[in-house]
Structure 1
Amino acid sequence: MTEIPDQNQLLHSLTDVQQQAAQWDEGAMMLLAGPGSGKTRVLTSRIARLFNADPAGKWRILALTFTTRAADEMRHRVEQLVPDSVDRMFAGTFHSFACEVLRQSGSHIGVQTDFKIYSSPEDRLLLLSKALERANIDLDEPLERVFPILDGLRDRLASPDNCLRFFSDEDRGMRFAAAYEAYMQHLQAENALDFPAIIYMAYRLFTEFPAIAGRYRRTYRFTSLDEFQDTNQAQYAFVRSFTGDEYKNLFIVADDDQVIYQWNGASPQRLQQFVADYDPAVLQMPTNFRCPRDVVMMANGLVSHNLLRTPGKNPLEAGKIETPDAETVRILQFDSEDTEAAGIAADLSARHQHDPGEVAIIARTKKLLTKVQGELASLGIAAQIAQRRDSFASVPYQWLNGSLQVANRRADAREFEAFVESGNVLLGMALDAEELIAIALSGHGDFLRAWVSEAHPVDAPAIKAVEILRVELVERNDFRKFVRNLTDLFAQAEWALEETQPSFEEDQRAWKELFSDISGQVGRQAPLDTFLQELELRSKEPPIKDGVVPLLTIHGSKGNEFTHVYLIGLAEDVLPSFQSKKAGDRSPQMEEERRNCFVAITRCMSTLTLSYAARYNGWPKAPSRFLQEMGMA
């Protein structure tokens, strides 16, 4: 791990403009920070300086970003700089902060502290189906098509009572309004939230009870928002409901050249909205210390073709010291996507066989990455496609997670059924969930206690697992000790789970990182319901092991940097996509595709390899227009 200097060392190591940003105190500030410009160093240095300037202060700092990984990194850096003050900072995602708000005050709008979060599509579809059945509503549309509409309404902060304006067909609007109302009522009856409801309900809380928002404003004297350009309408409105018209201590870091979540409501115009609402000072950090000079010039040439940019924005400047005459950018041509995948794998093997973990392969679509992964495997090179995973893949960790879920909600039949099913597979039993529920309901009502009374496995490790659950969850309710003891048992050679359970090793690495990071955010004394809420917000994807080549979509590459980058599929209809071409050369969709390319090429620190093929899916494709705009064609 890179050594972090103390606060004074860090401040003196910053450039003049970085120091100017880190020294900002009161009032609104918009920092336009290009890729590789050192924004994380600035943010952490500023937070540390504010804490040190008032060590006895009772106020806190709110630091919001878009990924839990970025929030965890920021918290870790601040903890190294000012360890005594880190408890005065909340560093997390928008959804994590909204959950914290709802835990503390959500009862005012019917959200109780121990609410459950449903994030998987399967869980949400089941909830919707039950809600519509209970309300006797037939939408006459596949439920898979209903959720994008309901989610879109909540992203626009439209309630069931005022959503008809979004429908051109009044009858259809009435049906959806009724379905929307039924679904939200069902969530409340279950004391549950799905992912889009988190921001929506927190916004409702702040707007319906402004005194609560005022209390949070007094608690958090300073607020930092990273990757601000990615905020959608609901997230920005949530921030506005928190700050009101008086609170101005917002420090936002943004880059309108990196807006790549337009499908989720992000827009370059959000920066203009912030300027209109908060009248901030504006500071630019255009120097890129990450990429070779050639890549910086390519990025400038590319993005200069976009019109939706902040007026007066400076081009990127190259700040990296380079080896003279080093080859930094290459372009490779192939006949088809299959020969492209094989050629990229062979090229990586030849050039980076001793440092494959320093290389990343980026593509517009996962399909291209899957082909490359197969070709790398044939050459004996391990590669992993980075993608969000909403649940654990192995039975042992499904059962561990299920144990915690049932311990938290001991009369939840659906959670209990999944727990019993995974327990039967892992522990070699054949218990019936319905029979156990009947036993529990005839007496104490505790499903978990009923399971323990009937669980009698034969194998020694399974017997030990049941005993750990009985002692730590049923009798003591010490979930942290349960987790420690059970994961230690999982790792014992006697059980040999790594050899017998697919995906066990991946889940083992994922759980270790998740447990540590969540404990760091919510505190090691946080109750089980808080831990599980945070767990549901996070991907269960395992961290990539050393020496493994990460394969990323452009969206997945955001916020990362790699020594060597391959960007593949630079062909018309691929990057830019067919949909953006159909929308038009000057359309917002085409500008977003250009920003996608901008983000991808600026992930590299030493070399960039671009590639394209003459045919994809059997159809001839021209080289991407972006190659010409970057000066590569």
Structure 2
Amino acid sequence: MNEFDSDPFELGSPPAPPPPRGVNTAAAAAPPPAFLDGLNEGQRAAVEALDGPVLVLAGAGTGKTRVLTTRLAYILMTRRAFPSQILAVTFTNKAAREMQERIGSLIGGAVEGMRWLGTFHSVGAQILRRHAELVGLTSNFTILDTDDQIRLIKQLLAAAEIDDKRWPARVLAGQIDRWKNQGLTPAKIPEGEAFSFANGKGRDIYAAYQARLKVLNAVDFGDLLLECLRLFQENPDVLAQYQERFKYILVDEYQDTNVAQYLWLRLLAQGRRNICCVGDDDQSIYGWRGAEVGNILRFETDFPGAAVIRLERNYRSTPNILAAASGLIATNEGRLGKTLWTDDPEPGDPVTICGVWDGVEEARQIGEQVEALQREGHRLDDMAILVRAGFQTREFEERFLTLGVPYRVIGGPRFYERMEIRDAIAYLRIIAQPNDDLAFERIVNKPKRGLGDATVQTLHRTARAEGISLAQTAEILVDTDELTKRARNSLARLMEDFRRWRSQMDAMDHVALTEMVLDESGYTEMWQKDRSPDAPGRLDNLKELVMAMEAFENLAGFLE
């Protein structure tokens, strides 16, 4: 039995903690770096505890980001490890970029070689690309987004004759994501959960989905960790390489890790055990997407002898806010406990709770408050309304329109989720990975080339029968009579375009290549001729995409 066959939290008895190791002589003799001077007692203890496992319980506003970045800088300054020997995991790319910038400012220059500083998924992708063949992929595999997942699942539901209206593809995509977050492959799904979709067919579709991903040389976000777990499980020598490589592991927002992330971290930390997790059990709010607060509560059991350091001095909130928050959270069960405090002498405005009948009444009351604040001389730019979900802005927008109060909604579709951006990236995905069926299907008739639904259905039918990709099928069908002459000619021109663009990948700068593709494909011209009010904005977004690509070394780096 291997360590993934039973309880996902049972990895066997952890090794006994190693004896403390001293720093090298030169580092020990050097005076402490100046950047330690501004830390409070708890922060400094968290930064300097470099031997063995450390859990930093960091309340909101206590400077956890400063602790993480200073700890990384301290490891580098004391020569405990090279940048390439540190694994630092965050939950967003923005947090990773900010952390690297802060480290550079602390040590007095840009930090080179921190390739293992990033999100769980970006680090997982790096590992998978290095060992892709061991999990049935090639190194240029495509990473699908949610829209691609749903389109693929819809195809599988149709093939299985499952009614997509009764059993929506989006629902199954969410269920598959939850299974992957729990570290569950199709074979490991409990019987009860297997019957949660289409009377037990959900597990079969999940298995078919995984098989189809392999044919497409693709993964989804959940696979970036699930396939890593399988890689480590089936190849102990690969796991041993990374356990030896990572002298220090640092994890941000540990309370938000799911089961798959937990297992991945525990496997990597079983080697040197120098793992530092920063989190706050009182801020675990992502249980709905698989976060397991038990991960942080179990830390001392998982890593015997771990140091637990509490950051309780708050630099962000007033005493009134802290008192209200502490009074609420104190009633929670299953928490490690801490008491936030501040030395701010001003108590601040009291927290006000107002009960209303409905959203319309809430919007009316807030509208009145906004107008009152305006009359007192406060600027609208200094006011904000936070809502739990996007749909809740409607009543506020309607009220502000009635009052004539100008406002701005922050949110809407993310840049890379906009239609024109997804289309452009689909072209680039096919150039980099010719067998990307989902990208091919998306743009085969964008702009319109006379390759409609009938042509796409013929391509799919032949591809399934032959067990090949849509692009490979297209190359075959252009020389047969299965398509109309117009469709054959149009498809032949498109395939020739892709061959020409692909031949330029190594010779041409990726930014210039993107401009060429958007121009020669007719995609830019399509929006130039479009007379809809959205068209100018879409053209601007395409220009922004080209500019964004300048930050990457090559096309592969951008698509990553």
When normalised by structure 2's length, the TM-score is: 0.75
SS in 2 for 1:305: coil
Change (3 A) 1:227 1:440: same
SS in 1 for 2:116: strand
Q: Is the 8 A contact 1:60 1:222 kept in 2?
A: yes
Q: Residue 463 of structure 1 corresponds to which residue in structure 2?
A: none
Q: Residue 47 of structure 1 corresponds to which residue in structure 2?
A: 72
Query: Of the candidates 493, 496, 501, which is equivalent to residue 535 of structure 2?
Result: 501
* Cα deviation code 1:453-504 (max 9, x no counterpart): 789xxxxxxxxxxxxx9699578343233457899998xxx99999762654
- Gapped regions of structure 1 (runs ≥ 5): 1-6, 425-429, 456-468, 534-633
Q: Residue 528 of structure 1 corresponds to which residue in structure 2?
A: 555
CA shift at 1:213, angstroms? 1.6
Q: Residue 15 of structure 1 corresponds to which residue in structure 2?
A: 40
Change (3 A) 1:385 1:271: same
Change (3 A) 1:329 1:196: same
Change (3 A) 1:160 1:399: closer
Change (3 A) 1:470 1:170: closer
Q: Residue 581 of structure 1 corresponds to which residue in structure 2?
A: none
Change (3 A) 1:172 1:127: closer
What one-letter code is carried by the residue in structure 2 that aligns with 1:383? R
- Gapped regions of structure 2 (runs ≥ 5): 1-31, 460-470, 480-487
Q: Residue 286 of structure 1 corresponds to which residue in structure 2?
A: 312
CA shift at 1:250, angstroms? 0.7
Q: Is the 8 A contact 1:231 1:270 kept in 2?
A: yes
Query: Of the candidates 104, 107, 110, which is equivalent to residue 130 of structure 2?
Result: 104
Change (3 A) 1:514 1:292: farther
Query: Of the candidates 273, 276, 294, which is equivalent to residue 301 of structure 2?
Result: 276
Pair 1:364-2:407 in alignment: no
Change (3 A) 1:394 1:364: closer
What one-letter code is carried by the residue in structure 1 that aligns with 2:187? D
Q: Is the 8 A contact 2:143 2:220 kept in 1?
A: yes
Change (3 A) 1:271 1:413: closer
Change (3 A) 1:261 1:388: farther
* Cα deviation code 1:150-172 (max 9, x no counterpart): 33332222223332444486998
Which of the two has greater strand per residue? 1
In 2, the alpha carbon distance for the partners of 1:484 and 1:81 equals 39
In the alignment of these two chains, the number of paired residues is: 491
Q: Is the 8 A contact 1:295 1:329 kept in 2?
A: yes
What one-letter code is carried by the residue in structure 2 that aligns with 1:292? T
Task: Please show how residues 125-524 of structure 1 align to structure 2 within 5 Å.
Answer: 125-131=150-156, 142-144=167-169, 145-167=171-193, 175-244=201-270, 246-279=271-304, 280-310=306-336, 313-320=337-344, 322=346, 327=349, 329-332=351-354, 334=356, 336-348=358-370, 350-351=372-373, 355-376=379-400, 379-386=404-411, 389=414, 391-393=416-418, 395=420, 397-410=421-434, 412=436, 414-423=438-447, 430=449, 432=451, 441=476, 442=478, 450-451=493-494, 476-483=507-514, 501=535, 503-504=537-538, 507=541, 511=545, 515=549, 519=551, 524=552
In 2, the alpha carbon distance for the partners of 1:171 and 1:330 equals 44
Q: Is the 8 A contact 2:87 2:117 kept in 1?
A: yes
CA shift at 1:16, angstroms? 1.7
Q: Is the 8 A contact 1:32 1:283 kept in 2?
A: yes
SS in 2 for 1:386: coil
Higher relative contact order structure (alpha carbons within 8 Å, sequence separation ≥ 6): 1
In 2, the alpha carbon distance for the partners of 1:341 and 1:509 equals 38
* Cα deviation code 1:173-207 (max 9, x no counterpart): 86444332222111111111122222211111111
Percent identity over the alignment is 25
What one-letter code is carried by the residue in structure 2 that aligns with 1:402? A
* Cα deviation code 1:349-378 (max 9, x no counterpart): 553686544443223333323322343455
Q: Residue 121 of structure 2 corresponds to which residue in structure 1?
A: 95
Change (3 A) 1:404 1:482: same
In 1, the alpha carbon distance for the partners of 2:515 and 2:106 equals 29
* Cα deviation code 1:132-161 (max 9, x no counterpart): 566x57599614343344333322222233
What one-letter code is carried by the residue in structure 1 that aligns with 2:535? Q
Q: Is the 8 A contact 1:30 1:282 kept in 2?
A: yes
* Cα deviation code 1:558-579 (max 9, x no counterpart): xxxxxxxxxxxxxxxxxxxxxx
CA RMSD of aligned residues (A): 4.1
Query: Of the candidates 142, 145, 154, which is equivalent to residue 119 of structure 1?
Result: 145
Q: Residue 582 of structure 1 corresponds to which residue in structure 2?
A: none
What one-letter code is carried by the residue in structure 1 that aligns with 2:511? R
In 2, the alpha carbon distance for the partners of 1:180 and 1:215 equals 31
In 1, the alpha carbon distance for the partners of 2:282 and 2:137 equals 38
Q: Residue 22 of structure 2 corresponds to which residue in structure 1?
A: none
Which of 97-106 and 403-412 deviates more? 403-412
What one-letter code is carried by the residue in structure 2 that aligns with 1:418? R
CA shift at 1:73, angstroms? 1.5
In 1, the alpha carbon distance for the partners of 2:106 and 2:513 equals 33
CA shift at 1:45, angstroms? 0.9
Pair 1:76-2:98 in alignment: no
What one-letter code is carried by the residue in structure 2 that aligns with 1:182? A
What one-letter code is carried by the residue in structure 1 that aligns with 2:279? A
Q: Is the 8 A contact 2:81 2:247 kept in 1?
A: no
